[in-house]
Structure 1
């Protein structure tokens, strides 16, 4: 059975009121298909219908019914209900877009991020700082897709909003500079990328503190740029700071688990864990390939990975890591804490 026949059907022209045009949910071109589940969302063709379904529509299809169906009359309670549902949809679409971005599913990010932007605009109005996270999600997914011109457009929109909002907080500014740094890295303008990552770290430290994992992720991005510039000494210094911060954070989570939990519950969602895993693996590989190896640094990063896997609900992966001959010497500490705790649970 084809996709369109499963959740989509052609629009019946006579069912559309005269003068009303149905537009595609993604591109706003004239629509020819509608979702058969909510019957309130329209598409120019099966390609955009499928993209929207996979990207976000399957999560919010039924939530759209009460806010897109014409109300028989206006009431304050109905208005409140609409606002509540819009807020819920905004939260879902943002979370889905962020998760798919972490997973590298850049094409699937776009429908969710577009809906996030649309909901935020409906709730807060145009040109306000609450729209910046949506613009940045669209920009970063565009970078991932290699569409730099589109990324620049979204980034320019975000910059414009921030520039005209002098009271914009450091959390938004750090996100903006981090996204700009990634864009300039992709463009090969490494000096501009470093400048934006430095601003990212500055604003993140204002919002979260110097020793926070959000801030240290900016150090990691800076280190990657220094690697590209051939300045490995600076890069390894930054990698060390990232490893130290994550080791401290993961140790606190692990100690909390030992004291307060009787069962293993994942402390990170899948996409977050994958992002941190990739970052720590990059640092570990850089340390192992360095001409002057820092054994204690390698052990620290390996321990971070083991704790991450354990906290993510994958203790068997930890055991497999400690059984490898090349890493056993640097992971003696794991036999003391992680594996002993695993045996108890």
Structure 2
């Protein structure tokens, strides 16, 4: 079977699958189940089906079962999602982070808060690490471009850059804000973890040029960490706030 056959399936299996089949209740769940069964059949008939496709398929199944209240099957498929995404994109890849997030939500619903909190922390760490590198890369590019002589040839600055797609940006905003909401409402407050999510969101909004939101999140993180011993984290947030304030369109 040719790989093109996969293109015949609805876009429910793409990166925004979470939004598509969980909208209108049971009717859509049944339709999603039918689509997923078709996809699973195609995977079984196609030995060279990519791991990238399979991890998205397992995530869809995980979301479907989670919505239907079948936590055991949801966790099974989300574990496969994480394994395949990690094997394909890397253990700490943002592609794998979604599986951790949805798995954390399942444990959260089961009131298994120790496991859920650990997984939410993993999600935060993955995005935080990625966003730190993204900000550093952007700064490298800015400095290299600023240092170019007008007498040199007009060549693009060559810097390795991991850019987010629009779908990944939307996922990051949704996921990190959801984790922040959970952290802020938790009975036992953990300022360090909350500040880490806020720092990640500040970097994210900075990169997508929502500077007012970036500054708001950055200041919240800074205020939380002022009384904490993590001076290194405080310095990183201070530096980010300087970057934000240096942008001409940032109005305090």
The bucket for the TM-score relative to the shorter chain is 0.7 to 0.9
Q: What's the counterpart of residue 308 of structure 1? A: 204
SS where residue 36 of structure 2 aligns? Answer: helix
1:14-49 deviations in Å (ceiling 9; x for gaps):
xxxxxxxxxxxxxxxxxxxxxxxxxxxxxxxxxxxx
Q: CA shift at 1:320, angstroms?
A: 2.9
Q: What's the counterpart of residue 94 of structure 1? A: none
Structure 2 residue 22 is matched with structure 1 residue 143: yes
Q: What's the counterpart of residue 340 of structure 1? A: 242
Please tell me the root mean square deviation across aligned C-alpha atoms, in Å.
2.7
Consecutive unaligned residues of structure 1, counting only runs of 5 or more, are: 1-120
- Is the CA contact (8 Å cut-off) linking 2:218 and 2:240 kept in structure 1? no
How far apart, CA to CA, are the structure 2 residues paired with 1:328 and 1:184? Answer: 40
Q: CA shift at 1:207, angstroms?
A: 0.5
Question: What does 1:1-345 align with in structure 2 at a 5 Å threshold?
Answer: 128-132=5-9, 134=11, 136-137=13-14, 141-146=20-25, 147-261=28-142, 268=164, 271-323=167-219, 328-330=223-225, 332-333=234-235, 336-345=238-247
Q: CA shift at 1:157, angstroms?
A: 0.8
Q: CA shift at 1:139, angstroms?
A: 7.2
Q: CA shift at 1:281, angstroms?
A: 1.6
How far apart, CA to CA, are the structure 2 residues paired with 1:213 and 1:197? Answer: 15
Query: Residues 340 and 334 of structure 1: is their aligned pair in 2 closer, same or farther, counting only changes over 3 Å?
Result: same
Q: CA shift at 1:273, angstroms?
A: 2.6
Consecutive unaligned residues of structure 2, counting only runs of 5 or more, are: 146-162, 227-233, 248-252
Query: Residues 335 and 195 of structure 1: is their aligned pair in 2 closer, same or farther, counting only changes over 3 Å?
Result: closer
- Is the CA contact (8 Å cut-off) linking 2:94 and 2:126 kept in structure 1? yes
- Is the CA contact (8 Å cut-off) linking 2:10 and 2:35 kept in structure 1? no
Query: Residues 281 and 164 of structure 1: is their aligned pair in 2 closer, same or farther, counting only changes over 3 Å?
Result: same
1:234-273 deviations in Å (ceiling 9; x for gaps):
000011111111110000000011111269xxx6565533
SS where residue 313 of structure 1 aligns? Answer: coil
Structure showing greater relative contact order (alpha-carbon pairs closer than 8 Å, 6 or more residues apart): 2
Q: What's the counterpart of residue 159 of structure 2? A: none
Q: TM-score, normalised by structure 2?
A: 0.77
Query: Residues 273 and 169 of structure 1: is their aligned pair in 2 closer, same or farther, counting only changes over 3 Å?
Result: closer
- Is the CA contact (8 Å cut-off) linking 1:162 and 1:168 kept in structure 2? yes
Structure of larger gyration radius? 1
Q: What's the counterpart of residue 157 of structure 2? A: none
Q: TM-score, normalised by structure 1?
A: 0.57
